[in-house]
Structure 1
Amino acid sequence: MHIGSQYSNNTCNFTLWAPLVGEVAVHLVEPQDKVVPLEKDERGYWRGSIADIKPGSLYYYQLDGEKDAADPAAHSQPQGVHGASEVIDHDSFKWNDDKWQGVPLEEMVIYELHVGTFTEAGTFEGIIPRLADLKELGVNTIEIMPVAQFPGSRNWGYDGVFPYAVQNSYGSVDGLKKLVDACHQQGISVILDVVYNHLGPEGNYLWGYGTYFTEKYKTPWGSAINFDDSYSDGVRNYFVQNVLYWLENYHLDGLRLDAVHAIYDFGAKHILAEMAEAVTQLEQKKNRQFYLIAESDLNDPRIIRSQEVGGYGIDAQWSDDFHHALHTVLTGEKNGYYEDFGSLEQLAKIYRQGFVYTWDYSPHRHRYHGDDPKGCASSQFVVCAQNHDQVGNRMLGDRLSNLISFEALKLTAAALLLSPYIPMLFMGEEYGETAPFLYFVSHGDRDLIEAVRKGRKEEFAAFHEIDGKEAPDPQAEETFKESQLNWDKRKTGEHEKLWLFHQKLLQMRKNVPALRNLDRNQLGSSVIEPEQVLCIKRHHQNSQIVCWLNFGSEAVKITDDNKSGTWKKILDSSEETWGGTGSQMPEKLDGSSSSELMINPYSVVVYSNQ
Structure 2
Amino acid sequence: MHPDHRVWTDLRVWAPAAHRVEVESAEHRMPMSPEAGGWWSASLPTRAEGTPYAFVVDGHGPFPDPRSPWQPEGVHGPSRTLPPEPFPWSDQGFQAVPLGAAVIYELHIGTFTEGGTFGSAIPRLDHLVELGVTHVELMPVAHFAGDRGWGYDGVALYAPHAAYGGPEGMKRFVDACHRRGLAVLLDVVYNHLGPEGNYLAHFGPYFTEHYSTPWGAAVNLDGPGSHEVRRFFLDNARMWLRDYHVDGLRVDAIQAFHDRSALHFMEELAEEVHRLGQGLGRHLVIIAESDLNDPRTTLPPEAGGHGVDAQWSDDFHHALHALITGEEEGYYGDFGGMESLARALEEGFVQTGGLSRYRGRSHGRPLAEPRGERLVCFAQNHDQIGNRPGGDRLGHLISRRELKAVLAVTLLGPHIPLLFQGEEWAAGSPFQYFTDLREPGLGRAVAEGRRREFAAFGWDPEEVPDPQDPETHRRSVLDWNEREKEGHREILEWTRVLLRLRNSEPDFRDGEMARVRWSDTNQWLLMARGRFQVGVNLGPGECVVPVPDSAALTPLLVSSGGVRWENGGAFLPPGGVVVFRTG
TM-score (norm 1): 0.92
2:431 matched residue in structure 1: 437
Give matches, 1:344-383, under 5 Å.
344-383=338-377
Contact 2:347 2:370 survives alignment (8 Å): no
Q: What is the CA distance between 1:47 and its match in structure 2?
A: 2.0
RMSD: 1.7
1:4 matched residue in structure 2: none
Amino acid at match of 1:598: F
Contact 2:380 2:394 survives alignment (8 Å): yes
Paired with 2:112 and 2:48, the residues of 1 have a C-alpha distance of 34
How far does the alpha carbon of each residue in 1:517-559 deviate from its partner, in whole angstroms, 9 at most, with x for none?
2211xx31121241111111121xxxx1112111111112333
Is 122-131 or 506-515 further displaced after alignment?
Answer: 506-515
Contact 2:45 2:51 survives alignment (8 Å): no
Contact 1:569 1:606 survives alignment (8 Å): yes
1:330 matched residue in structure 2: 324
Q: Residues 28 and 467 from structure 1, CA distance in 2 versus in 1: closer, same or farther, beyond 3 angstroms?
A: closer
2:28 matched residue in structure 1: 34
Contact 2:542 2:572 survives alignment (8 Å): yes
Matched residue SS, 2:36: coil
What percentage of aligned pairs have identical amino acids?
44
Q: Does 1:574 align with 2:560?
A: yes
Amino acid at match of 2:238: L
1:517 matched residue in structure 2: 510
1:219 matched residue in structure 2: 213
Paired with 1:9 and 1:320, the residues of 2 have a C-alpha distance of 53
Contact 1:463 1:469 survives alignment (8 Å): no
Contact 1:16 1:45 survives alignment (8 Å): yes
Matched residue SS, 1:460: helix
Which of residues 523, 536, 543 in structure 2 aligns to 1:532?
523
Q: What is the CA distance between 1:463 and its match in structure 2?
A: 7.6
Give matches, 1:189-228, under 5 Å.
189-228=183-222
Gaps of 5+ in 1: 1-7, 576-581, 587-593
Q: What is the CA distance between 1:502 and its match in structure 2?
A: 0.5
Q: Residues 69 and 133 from structure 1, CA distance in 2 versus in 1: closer, same or farther, beyond 3 angstroms?
A: same
How far does the alpha carbon of each residue in 1:286-310 deviate from its partner, in whole angstroms, 9 at most, with x for none?
1111011100000111111111111
Paired with 1:381 and 1:148, the residues of 2 have a C-alpha distance of 26
Q: Does 1:150 align with 2:150?
A: no
How far does the alpha carbon of each residue in 1:246-289 deviate from its partner, in whole angstroms, 9 at most, with x for none?
00110000111001110111100011111112112211211111
Q: What is the CA distance between 1:207 and its match in structure 2?
A: 2.2
How far does the alpha carbon of each residue in 1:214-263 deviate from its partner, in whole angstroms, 9 at most, with x for none?
00111010110000011111100000000000001100001110011101
Q: What is the CA distance between 1:55 and its match in structure 2?
A: 4.9
How far does the alpha carbon of each residue in 1:371-420 deviate from its partner, in whole angstroms, 9 at most, with x for none?
12223532011000000110001101100010000100001100101111
Is 69-78 or 545-554 further displaced after alignment?
Answer: 545-554
Contact 1:436 1:482 survives alignment (8 Å): yes
Q: Does 1:294 align with 2:294?
A: no
Is 422-431 or 544-553 further displaced after alignment?
Answer: 544-553
Q: Does 1:415 align with 2:409?
A: yes
Paired with 2:318 and 2:107, the residues of 1 have a C-alpha distance of 21
1:590 matched residue in structure 2: none
Which of residues 22, 29, 44 in structure 1 aligns to 2:19?
22
Give matches, 1:252-401, under 5 Å.
252-401=246-395
Which of residues 487, 490, 496 in structure 2 aligns to 1:494?
487
Q: Residues 440 and 90 from structure 1, CA distance in 2 versus in 1: closer, same or farther, beyond 3 angstroms?
A: farther
1:506 matched residue in structure 2: 499
Gaps of 5+ in 2: none
Paired with 1:567 and 1:388, the residues of 2 have a C-alpha distance of 38
1:556 matched residue in structure 2: 543
Amino acid at match of 2:105: Y
Contact 1:304 1:376 survives alignment (8 Å): no
Q: Residues 348 and 609 from structure 1, CA distance in 2 versus in 1: closer, same or farther, beyond 3 angstroms?
A: same
Contact 1:305 1:376 survives alignment (8 Å): no
Paired with 1:66 and 1:560, the residues of 2 have a C-alpha distance of 73
Paired with 2:534 and 2:46, the residues of 1 have a C-alpha distance of 67
Q: Residues 546 and 90 from structure 1, CA distance in 2 versus in 1: closer, same or farther, beyond 3 angstroms?
A: farther
Which of residues 451, 467, 471 in structure 2 aligns to 1:478?
471
Q: What is the CA distance between 1:467 and its match in structure 2?
A: 5.8
Q: What is the CA distance between 1:583 and its match in structure 2?
A: 2.2
Q: What is the CA distance between 1:166 and its match in structure 2?
A: 0.8
Q: Residues 52 and 86 from structure 1, CA distance in 2 versus in 1: closer, same or farther, beyond 3 angstroms?
A: closer
1:547 matched residue in structure 2: 534
Amino acid at match of 1:530: T
How far does the alpha carbon of each residue in 1:500-521 deviate from its partner, in whole angstroms, 9 at most, with x for none?
000000011011232132211x
Q: What is the CA distance between 1:196 and its match in structure 2?
A: 0.2
Matched residue SS, 1:585: strand
Which of residues 570, 577, 581 in structure 2 aligns to 1:604?
577
Matched residue SS, 2:169: helix
How far does the alpha carbon of each residue in 1:588-609 deviate from its partner, in whole angstroms, 9 at most, with x for none?
xxxxxx4244221121111111
Matched residue SS, 2:127: helix
Paired with 2:324 and 2:96, the residues of 1 have a C-alpha distance of 35
Q: Does 1:174 align with 2:165?
A: no
Contact 1:345 1:526 survives alignment (8 Å): no
Give matches, 1:178-189, under 5 Å.
178-189=172-183
The count of corresponding residues between Structure 1 and Structure 2 is 579
Paired with 2:313 and 2:46, the residues of 1 have a C-alpha distance of 51
TM-score (norm 2): 0.96
Contact 1:411 1:549 survives alignment (8 Å): yes
Amino acid at match of 1:333: E
Which of residues 140, 149, 159 in structure 2 aligns to 1:165?
159
Q: What is the CA distance between 1:34 and its match in structure 2?
A: 2.1
Amino acid at match of 2:540: S
